[in-house]
Amino acid sequence: MKKENLIKQYKAIYKKAPTHIIRAPGRINLIGEHTDYNGGFVLPIAIDSYTNMLVSKNDDKKVRLYDLKYNENDEFHLDNIKPLKQKKWSNYQCGIAKVLLDAGYKIGGLDILIFSEVPEGAGLSSSASIEIATLLSFKELYDLEIKPLEMIKLARKAENNFVGVECGIMDQFASLLSKEGNALFIDCRSLKYKYVTLSFMGYSFFVCNSMVKRELVESSYNKRRKDCKYALRAFHKILPRIGALRDISIEDFMKYGGLLSKKSRRRVEHIVYENERVKQAVEVLKNRNAKAFGELMYQSHLSLKELYEVSTEELDLLVEIGKDEPGVLGARLTGAGFGGCVIYLVKDSCVEKLKEKILDVYSKKTGLVPQFYEVVPSKGAYAELNGNR
């Protein structure tokens, strides 16, 4: 929707013009799945789909919301913030306000219009884009002196403690700090990061939504978190020096992995080798070796399917379709799994044929009509003043 139309809708709802327009992107993770909450490494990019928030202050200490996706309004008072059971979509704004107040930041009321371009439940991190957009709204309108890494930590805290998803820190990180044309290599423990140029001449990343929607609060995502905590406790008895699963080397795993239960062994094996794949992927990007990157993607998907057990029949089918298509170098599920999207590395001239094959084979076998998204490595969240006031 055009900015002019959004401003017009804002004026109709709030009887005034917005002072700011805030935009925060969704993300795609190129490789490094379920490693973030284990203190490991990830390699996401921001995508060219944004949550748009048109905002202005109010004097009522209320946050008023209107979401165009749901065509619903909601509001809450800053002196009485509680998780909402009916209109759960506004819990993200509630959570952000709560963590800011708990951290001692002085904030006041906002009137917000939300228009999100990020598909919900597709594994493209619509939730993190909403959290970062909300946080940036408070920061800009109330002149909060808050550094980027603190913003990322607070946004994650809101999703962990208020919304109830025990996510890692990657999604909020990518939504805020991504850079156009680059992947973001993040050490999720130290929070050190660096940009890695994406330049596979003639090849692009391309995403297919399986249309199997994920509900992470109710899904097995939190169960996988618990599996990893249990495995860490078991491995810590063997190697007391480790503080997270990322500390287990391949040599450690080969020597001691057999002492774990079968489930714990599978979970640890995925994390150990997935972290290694991320580090290899960074070098592959530097060398512009598209074929090698594609092979790492296939390895990652197989591990997520057989060891971490977060794939689905639909996601596996999409990966297999890619393997049989000329010009496709790699494919893997992206995001937490249990539905959502598959990302492909495909020759630019072969993208349309891949789409046709997916529409034919996947739709016939599943009865679902997939959606496709071109992946443009984009910049992170930003704010702009509304000049049309």
How far separated are the first and last CA of the chain, in Å rounded? 19
DSSP H or E stretch at residue 175:
helix 170-177
* 379 three-state secondary structure: coil
Confidence of residue 217 (pLDDT cuts 50, 70, 90): very low
Phi-psi region of 56 (alpha: psi -120 to 50; beta: other; left: phi over 0): beta
CATH of range 3-196+378-385; options 3.40.710.10, 2.40.50.100, 1.10.3720.10, 3.30.230.10: 3.30.230.10
**The predicted structure's pLDDT at residue 335:** 86
Smallest CA-to-CA distance from 345 within 363, 324, 322 is with: 322
Strand pairing class (72-77; 182-187): unpaired
Q: Residue for token digits 């009321």?
A: 109
Q: Give me the percent of the chain exceeding a pLDDT of 90.
A: 84
* Nearest-angstrom CA–CA distance, 246 and 252: 11
DSSP string, 278-303: HHHHHHHHHTT-HHHHHHHHHHHHHH
Choose the catalytic residue: 67, 74, 111, 171. 171
**The predicted structure's pLDDT at residue 160:** 85
* 94 three-state secondary structure: helix
Strand pairing class (109-116; 62-67): parallel
DSSP code, position 324: T
CA distances (Å), origin 115, targets 1, 162, 191, 204, 371 = 8, 22, 30, 28, 19
Domain layout of the chain by residue ranges: 3-196+378-385
Has 59 been annotated as catalytic?
Answer: no
Strand partners, 218: none
Query: CB-based burial of residue 233 (10 Å sphere; 0-12 exposed, 13-18 middle, 19+ buried)?
Result: exposed
Considering just the CA atoms, what is the radius of gyration of the chain in Å?
Answer: 21
**The predicted structure's pLDDT at residue 216:** 52
Question: Tens digit of pLDDT for each residue in 67-92?
Answer: 998 899 999 999 999 887 667 788 99
Q: Residue for token digits 């970062």?
A: 132
**The predicted structure's pLDDT at residue 375:** 87
**The predicted structure's pLDDT at residue 86:** 67
- CA angle in degrees (0–180, nearest 5) for 321-322-328: 155
Quote the tokens at residue 316. 């596996």
Question: Tens digit of pLDDT for each residue in 339-377?
Answer: 889 999 999 999 999 999 999 999 999 999 999 998 899
**The predicted structure's pLDDT at residue 219:** 62
Q: In what order do the strands lie in the sheet with 371-374?
A: 328-334, 341-347, 203-209, 371-374
Find the mean pLDDT for residues 200-217: 84
Side chain identity at 310, as an amino acid letter? V
Find the mean pLDDT for residues 41-49: 96
Query: CB-based burial of residue 287 (10 Å sphere; 0-12 exposed, 13-18 middle, 19+ buried)?
Result: exposed
Q: Residue for token digits 């020597």?
A: 255
**The predicted structure's pLDDT at residue 222:** 81
Find the mean pLDDT for residues 11-38: 96
pLDDT over 70 at 218, yes or no: no
**The predicted structure's pLDDT at residue 84:** 73
